[in-house]
Amino acid sequence: MDPILFFIICLVVFLLLLSIVIRGAINSSKLTKQLEELTNEVQWLRIEIKENKHIADKRV
């Protein structure tokens, strides 16, 4: 097998493994879970404000 082809194949495999490890670390981090909870809370508050427009009628 040509050494350049072998190097390219090894490089591709290494990059795939590296991306899997990085994605796993990001998905399991506390910050990601907290950000997801915060996003859900903001969506819930937007829905609540739309339903109760009298809350948002007065400008501060």
Angle (nearest 5°) at CA 42 between 37 and 45: 125
Q: What is the pLDDT of residues 29-59, one digit of tens each?
A: 888 889 989 999 999 998 888 887 666 555 5
- Whole-angstrom distance between the N-terminal and C-terminal Cα of the chain? 72
Q: What is the pLDDT of residues 9-35, one digit of tens each?
A: 999 999 999 999 999 888 888 888 899
The whole-model pTM stands at 0.52
Which has more confidence, 2 or 53?
A: 2
Q: What is the mean pLDDT of the chain?
A: 86
State the Cα–Cα distance between residues 43 and 48, nearest whole angstrom.
Answer: 9
Question: What are the phi and psi torsion angles at 51 (to 5°)?
Answer: -75, -35
How confident is the model at residue 57, as a pLDDT?
58
Domain parsing of the chain, residue ranges: 3-55
